[in-house]
């Protein structure tokens, strides 16, 4: 169990990829704090489901856009746990639309949640991880950051920003043995992607070399790898986990 | 209430831990950048350790004024302007800027701050006895 005796924070941990990350880390022995925004029922259900996991799971409510709250949560966990080994920034939303018709709220909500939330939690864990001289931050990006789709200007901008933040922060924190990486999932079977998957139908599978939609557990496996000592020499990377979608070509 | 000696010793520990230098390298006269090799990430680490060690809050830029040194209002052609020097004096009453002010090249600023300056800074934040 790679995370026995280790601690982790997972934002967006009540659903989708974040949920799978919480389950994976708990199965591998970690003490996990999952941060959820509004779905308390789902968060509590997950905590109950994982009650017999080797690790421990707790749910904490927060809006990831709240900088102060991020610091309160991290400071409190650091005081209790005395270390923060892994941060997985998985909280994210979509609110698609063509730019010409996009409202300021659509733009702001997506960018402030996805990129702003990532900034807030990275900022909060920097001090404890630097002082411990170890830690791993895993940011959830998307293939949308590099491979354009119509109607996702806000989402693509937020994920592109996460890629840039990841690389720059990796350079900053490397001297303190804190690694920072991102995962760019392709089309994954989550609530968040169901609208796009519904519109695209089976056509989407034709352009994915592995001919199927990915599962949240497969992203969680990549996150667990990046968070673990198995990736001890890996930092500043954006790992595409997309069934080959980004290969393009014929 | 710590003594001045205790303040120095705690700062010495913080610098040894943050910079990986030896105890004997950390003298009152030692400059953080020139003698002890500190870089920007080290400054952040030092601030964190001082906050924890002395239970004080150090607003960003109060000890290491990167915001002034990277602001085009205060830096022109690689040198700190008069307005910039005024800001530095206000921000850093614990440091002696007279020599720097004679030729205020931004890149030389790092050689300004000494361990003694840091001691005076912390002493301004906590009550000390002699």
Count up the domains in chain B and report the number.
Answer: 2
Q: CA nearest A85: which of A151, A156, A33, A150?
A: A33
Tell me: do B17 and B38 sit in the same domain: yes
Chain B residues with CB under 8 Å of A175 CB are 39, 41
Tell me: do B80 and B42 sit in the same domain: no
CB contact under 8 A, A175 and B39: yes
- Taking only the tens place, the pLDDT of each residue in B41-84 is 899 999 999 999 999 999 888 888 888 988 999 999 999 999 99
Q: Active-site residue numbers of A?
A: 155
What is the enclosing helix (H) or strand (E) of A8?
strand A7-11
CA distances from B21 to B8, B13, B15, B27, B63 (A): 15, 10, 7, 11, 20
Range of the structural domain that residue B123 is part of: 1-58+113-130
User: What's the pLDDT at A240?
Assistant: 98
**HSE-CB for A241 with a 13 A CA cutoff:** 23
Contact A57, A48 (CB under 8 A): no
Name every residue whose Cβ is closer than 8 Å to that of residue A3 and which is 6 or more positions away in sequence. A25, A28, A29, A30, A55, A85, A86, A224, A227, A228
Tell me: do B12 and B47 sit in the same domain: yes
Of chain A, the percentage scoring pLDDT greater than 90 comes to 89
* DSSP helix/strand/coil, A16: helix
Contact A29, A5 (CB under 8 A): yes
- Taking only the tens place, the pLDDT of each residue in A40-91 is 999 999 999 999 999 999 999 999 999 999 999 999 999 999 999 999 999 9
Tell me: do B42 and B71 sit in the same domain: no
Tell me: do B5 and B44 sit in the same domain: yes
Considering CB atoms only, which of B39, B41, B48 is closest to A127? B48
User: What's the pLDDT at A250?
Assistant: 67
* Domains of chain A with bracketed CATH: 7-239 (3.40.50.720)
| Closest alpha carbon within chain B to A131 | B45
CB contact under 8 A, B39 and A130: no
CB contact under 8 A, B45 and A173: no
pLDDT band at A134 (very low <50, low <70, confident <90, very high): very high
Residue A33 phi, psi (nearest 5): -105, 115
Q: How many CB pairs under 8 A join A and B?
A: 16
Considering CB atoms only, which of B45, B49, B52 is closest to A176? B45
Report the mean per-residue pLDDT for chain B.
91
Chain B residues with CB under 8 Å of A130 CB are 41, 44-45, 48
Radius of gyration for the alpha carbons in chain A, expressed in angstroms and rounded: 17
Q: Could you tell me if B13 lies within 8 Å of chain A, comparing CB atoms? A: no
CA distance, residue B48 to nearest chain A CA (Å): 7
């Amino acid at each position: 169990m790679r995370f026995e005796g280790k601690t982790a924070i997972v934002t967006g941990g009540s659903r989708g990829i974040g949920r799978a990350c919480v389950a994976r880390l708990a199965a591998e022995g970690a003490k996990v704090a999952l941060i959820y925004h509004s779905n308390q029922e789902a968060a509590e259900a997950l905590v109950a489901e994982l009650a017999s996991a080797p690790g421990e799971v707790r749910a904490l409510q927060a809006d990831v856009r709240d900088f102060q709250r991020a610091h309160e949560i991290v400071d409190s966990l650091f005081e209790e746990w005395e270390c923060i080994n892994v941060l997985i920034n998985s909280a994210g939303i979509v609110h698609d639309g063509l730019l010409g018709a996009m409202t300021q709220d659509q733009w702001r909500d997506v960018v402030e949640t996805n990129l702003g939330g990532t900034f807030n939690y990275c900022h909060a864990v920097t001090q404890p991880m630097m002082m411990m001289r170890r830690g791993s931050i895993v940011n959830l990006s998307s293939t949308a950051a590099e491979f354009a789709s119509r109607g996702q200007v806000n989402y693509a901008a937020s994920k592109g920003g996460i890629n840039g933040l990841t690389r720059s922060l990796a350079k900053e924190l490397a001297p303190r043995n804190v690694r920072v990486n991102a995962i760019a999932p392709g089309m994954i079977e989550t609530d968040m992607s169901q609208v796009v998957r519904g519109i695209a139908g089976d056509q989407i599978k034709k352009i994915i070399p592995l001919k199927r939609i990915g599962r949240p557990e497969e992203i969680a496996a990549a996150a667990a790898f990046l968070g673990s000592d198995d990736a001890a020499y890996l930092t500043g990377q954006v790992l595409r986990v997309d069934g080959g979608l980004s290969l393009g070509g014929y | 209430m710590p003594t001045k000696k205790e303040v120095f010793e705690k700062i010495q520990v913080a610098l040894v831990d943050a910079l990986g230098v030896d105890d004997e390298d950390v003298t009152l006269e030692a400059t953080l950048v020139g003698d002890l090799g500190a870089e920007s990430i080290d400054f952040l680490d030092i601030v964190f350790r001082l906050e924890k060690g002395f239970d004080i809050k150090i607003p960003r830029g109060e000890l290491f004024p990167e915001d002034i040194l990277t602001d085009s209002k205060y830096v022109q052609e690689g040198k700190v302007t008069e307005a910039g020097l005024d800001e530095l004096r206000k921000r850093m009453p614990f440091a002696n800027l007279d020599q720097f002010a004679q030729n205020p090249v931004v890149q030389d600023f790092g050689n300004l701050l000494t361990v003694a300056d840091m001691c005076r800074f912390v002493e301004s934040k906590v009550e000390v006895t002699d």
